[in-house]
Amino acid sequence: MKRHSYFIAVALILISAGSAAAQEFPIMNMMADKVIQKYQQATCEQLWEEKGKPKSPREQEAVEILRSNPEMRTAFINKVSPTIVNKMFECGMIP
């Protein structure tokens, strides 16, 4: 539960920072669009089932890229967080 609260706080801060940097990273934009699409199309049941599963090698690689590039990570989070946080709220995954 603490992890979700932390994510929400970070997401809100980053959303307010703007998304100008997102246009600097076209590949990151494509990744973010896929994540957004996934959350928009997924049912709550699908998200709950997926929550405990390990990430695919491709997802792990993407996470490592974002960890190594703070500017890209910020742009990614700014772009995907509204969709993810809203879906998680709708599904009762966060208070």
* 56 closest CA partner among 91, 93, 31: 31
Q: What is the pLDDT of residue 84?
A: 96
Ramachandran class of 55: left when φ > 0, alpha when ψ lies in -120 to 50, beta otherwise: beta
For residue 43, the SS3 value is coil
Q: How much is the pTM?
A: 0.71
Is a pLDDT exceeding 80 seen at residue 21?
no
**Residue 7 buriedness (CB in 10 A; 0-12 / 13-18 / 19+):** middle
**In the predicted model, what is the mean pLDDT of residues 9-25?**
57
